[in-house]
């Protein structure tokens, strides 16, 4: 007997093998990712995935087979002109074969390369593998200051205002139905007997025996009883006078017993407070605070050339994707500055050009102001990320140092990347002081080349082996509850 099975809705069977395949090619993926970061437009990086090229040799699975040489006798089809004894030159690259086995390269791959496409999801997975921002969820419960009452089930005692009417009624009905059952069964039995006795006087009644008197289809006991009572009383009207002797006595007994049973039913309590009443339970529950805001601060002054800006853009791009990926509610504030700072939207942040001198303090002041205006309700985890070529007006550095004290007071972490191919600039030295004052909150990295961006990024966020949290998450994030 053949089975026909429609398996079209079944998930693919090679998904996890693909993961293994991707995993095995991490090295090549890293190269491809680096290339994508170096060459791609900031907002396009990784969108649509990337192509990863792997040397064929890395992927080929060797098996032992014959090499060229020795004696090969082969039969081929399609003889047109050969006769026995003909001699022909040996074709190149194969022992008398029509066409070689080698695969021609048809989509621009070299013959020794194997290219596969890494989807955007896989690309991002790879990018952010093992990375975590200071993770709010992991810390939230220990640090909770406030909680919210949340439904936590149904219990049998509680304050009257928590009474759950529906559940209480259901409970009561169940109990009552169960308690009535023996009485009802008894009444049905008695009525059936009475009906049978009365029926025996009915000469017109069908001759086959009434088996139980119960209707075949299920109906509520009460309806069954009513039905039977109706039949019995009509039978009684007809034949009641004819009944006598033993039968009459039995019927009298039956009626007494039915009355007793009905009284039994009437004694079943309607509401029993100790068992029927159900109440809603609410328990205080910690509320995860996954609200975070990231301040992206970038220097767009004249000393930042196009390439330096690009590097900064790439760094922010990574950060931006990372945040969007990890937090449901994440605000990002873009602040660009030269001698003056302004808050801009994402597009302007990345693409609008400006020039001028550099006063970092202008950006820090603006950041502080925005923090005070919009993110001061205690519900926000605040992160700062600054990119600069490190060039600042010498006289401005002291102001920056002071502002930093103020900012770090309310932020979880602040990341500074200096993008310069030369030696460290004056801002770096200023920030080194900050770093030593706030070793847990303040992070610095140095980017010379595009290829440095990713390692620095990873350095900031990498999990450190033991507790699986990022370095940055060793800081204690403030956690707040939403009222």
Residues lying near another protein in the complex (CB under 8 A) are found at: 1-8, 10, 12-14, 16-24, 59, 61-80, 82-90, 94-99, 101, 106-107, 114, 116-117
Residue 282 contacts residue 152 (beta carbons within 8 Å): yes
Sign of CA dihedral 73, 75, 76, 80: positive
| Cβ-contact 54, 31 below 8 angstroms | no
Separation CA 118–CA 24 (nearest Å) = 13
Residue 92 beta carbon to another protein: minimum distance, rounded to whole angstroms = 12
Helical (H) or strand (E) element with 30: helix 26-39
Supply 160's token pair. 């009257």
Q: Copy the structure tokens of residue 120.
A: 């955007």
Q: Which residues contact 104 (CB under 8 A, 6 or more apart)?
A: 111
d(C-alpha 43, C-alpha 46), whole Å:
9
- φ, ψ for residue 37, nearest 5 deg: -70, -40
The angle subtended at Cα 412 by Cα 408 and Cα 414, nearest 5°, is 60
**DSSP-derived 3-state class of residue 27:** helix
- Within 8 A by CB and 6+ apart from 77, the residues are none
Dihedral of alpha carbons 165, 170, 176, 180, sign: positive
DSSP secondary structure code for residue 131 in this structure: B
Cα separation of 291 and 380, whole Å?
A: 5
Instruction: State both tokens at 389.
Output: 């070529």
Count how many residues are written for the chain: 483
Q: Which two tokens stand for residue 139?
A: 């810390």
* Distance (Å, whole) CA 69 – CA 72: 8
Tell me how far apart the alpha carbons of residues 187 and 76 are, in angstroms, rounded to a whole number: 95
Could you report how far apart the first and last alpha carbons of the chain are, in Å? 65
The pairing of strands 113-118 and 147-155 is: unpaired
Rounded Cα distance between 412 and 385, Å, is 11
Cβ neighbours for 425, distance < 8 A, ≥ 6 positions apart:
389, 390, 391, 392, 418
Both tokens of residue 146?
């406030």
Residue 39 has φ and ψ, to the nearest 5°, of -100, -20
- By DSSP bridging, strand 442-447 and strand 341-344 are unpaired
**d(Cα 34, Cα 298) in Å, to the nearest integer?**
22
**For residue 273, which phi and psi values (nearest 5 degrees)?**
-60, -35
């Amino acid at each position: 007997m053949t089975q026909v099975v429609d398996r079209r809705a079944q998930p693919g069977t090679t998904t996890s093998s693909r993961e293994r395949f991707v995993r095995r090619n991490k090295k090549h993926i890293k190269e491809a990712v680096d290339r994508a970061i170096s060459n791609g437009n900031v907002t396009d990086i990784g969108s649509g995935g990337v192509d990863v090229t792997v040397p064929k040799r890395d992927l080929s699975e060797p098996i032992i087979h014959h090499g060229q040489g020795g004696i090969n006798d082969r039969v081929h089809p399609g003889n047109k002109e050969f006769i026995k004894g003909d001699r022909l030159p040996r074709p190149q690259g194969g022992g008398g074969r029509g066409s070689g086995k080698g695969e021609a390269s048809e989509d621009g791959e070299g013959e020794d390369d194997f290219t596969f496409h890494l989807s955007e999801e896989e690309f991002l997975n790879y990018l952010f593998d093992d990375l975590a921002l200071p993770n709010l969820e992991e810390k939230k419960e220990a640090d909770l200051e406030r909680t919210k009452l949340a439904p936590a089930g149904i219990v049998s005692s509680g304050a009257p205002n928590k009474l759950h009417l529906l559940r209480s009624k259901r409970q009561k009905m169940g109990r009552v139905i169960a308690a009535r059952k023996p009485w009802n069964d008894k009444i049905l039995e008695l009525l059936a007997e009475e009906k049978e006795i009365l029926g025996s006087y009915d000469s017109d009644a069908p001759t086959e025996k009434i088996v139980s008197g119960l209707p075949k289809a299920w109906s509520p006991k009460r309806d069954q009883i009513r039905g039977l009572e109706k039949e019995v009383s009509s039978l009684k009207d007809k034949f009641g006078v004819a009944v006598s002797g033993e039968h009459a006595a039995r019927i009298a007994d039956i009626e007494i017993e039915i009355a007793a049973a009905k009284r039994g039913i009437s004694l079943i309590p309607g509401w029993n407070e100790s068992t029927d009443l159900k109440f809603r339970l609410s328990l205080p529950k910690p509320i995860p605070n996954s609200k975070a805001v990231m301040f992206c601060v970038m220097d767009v002054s004249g000393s930042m050339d196009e390439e330096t800006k690009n590097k900064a853009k790439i760094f922010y791009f990574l950060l931006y994707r990372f945040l969007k990926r990890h937090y449901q509610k994440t605000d990002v504030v873009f602040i660009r500055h030269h001698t003056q700072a302004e808050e801009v939207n994402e597009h302007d942040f990345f693409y609008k050009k400006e020039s001028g001198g550099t006063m970092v303090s202008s950006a820090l002041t603006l950041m502080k102001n925005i923090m005070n205006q919009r993110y001061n309700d205690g519900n926000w985890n605040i992160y700062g990320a600054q990119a600069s070529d490190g060039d600042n007006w010498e006289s401005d550095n002291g102001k920056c140092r002071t502002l930093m004290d103020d900012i770090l007071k309310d932020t979880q972490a602040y990341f500074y990347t200096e993008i310069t191919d030369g030696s460290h600039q004056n801002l770096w030295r200023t920030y080194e002081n900050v770093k030593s004052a706030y070793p847990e909150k303040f992070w610095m990295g140095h980017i010379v080349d595009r290829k440095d961006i990713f390692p620095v990024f990873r350095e900031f966020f990498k999990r450190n082996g033991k507790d699986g949290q990022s370095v940055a998450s060793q800081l204690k994030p403030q956690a707040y509850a939403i009222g």
